[in-house]
Amino acid sequence: MGHGGDIIQELTTDHREVDSLFEQIEALPAGEQGRRDLADELTMELVRHSVAEEEHLYPTVRRYVDGGDDLADKEIGDHSEVERMLKELEGCEPGDGRFDILITQLRTSVAEHVADEENRLFPLLADACSAEALQELGEKVRMAKETAPTRPHPSAPDTPPANKLLAPGVGMVDRLRDVLTGRGRQG
């Protein structure tokens, strides 16, 4: 969840972890409970990652990157689509045919989003910001992921200031629910 480095390194490492979770889910036989556990872990990672990007990456893109408003709006739209799918996935069991369909749709949507960020947005951000600013943003992203929600909340605000005010409280409730239900603890 927190890796170190600047914002681009941090978020790229998150992207590889999400790729790995998709591979692990797809490697298990349909209907196996381990797929549900991995889907919960995937959901937790994607939600924390999205919240951190919405709190720190996209406001920076809006401020410093030419055409940043349009770029940020597109990425936030991608997040909304993913979050709606994650909410639907939350109600599915691995033996349900909808589970596999949602995993496939999620993987496609997330892969397109990641490619857009890594191939277009991150290079523009690197050109627009100093190494020190990118490093500072990396630290802010790591801190945001520590308090971010772990469950999808599609109707929650996704832009400042409301998202920054609400996310820590929602995150605390989500983490308490996770502890009480054992969600996110594999093994």
- Provide CATH code, domain 7-181: 1.20.120
- Alpha-carbon distance of 55 to 73, in angstroms, equals 13
Distance CA 180, CA 44 (A): 15
How sure is the predictor about 150, in pLDDT bands with cuts at 50, 70 and 90?
Answer: confident
CA nearest to 145, candidates 19, 1, 20: 1
Q: Kindly report, residue by residue over 18-35, the tens digit of the pLDDT.
A: 999 999 999 999 889 999
93 token code pair: 């069991």
> What average pLDDT does this structure show over 108-118?
97
Residues 33-73: tens digit of each pLDDT: 999 999 999 999 999 999 999 999 999 999 999 999 999 99
Q: How far is it, in rounded angstroms, from Cα 53 to Cα 117?
A: 11
CA distances from residue 148 to 9, 22, 57, 141 in whole angstroms, order as listed: 19, 21, 15, 10
Sign for the pseudo-dihedral over CA of 121, 123, 127, 131: positive
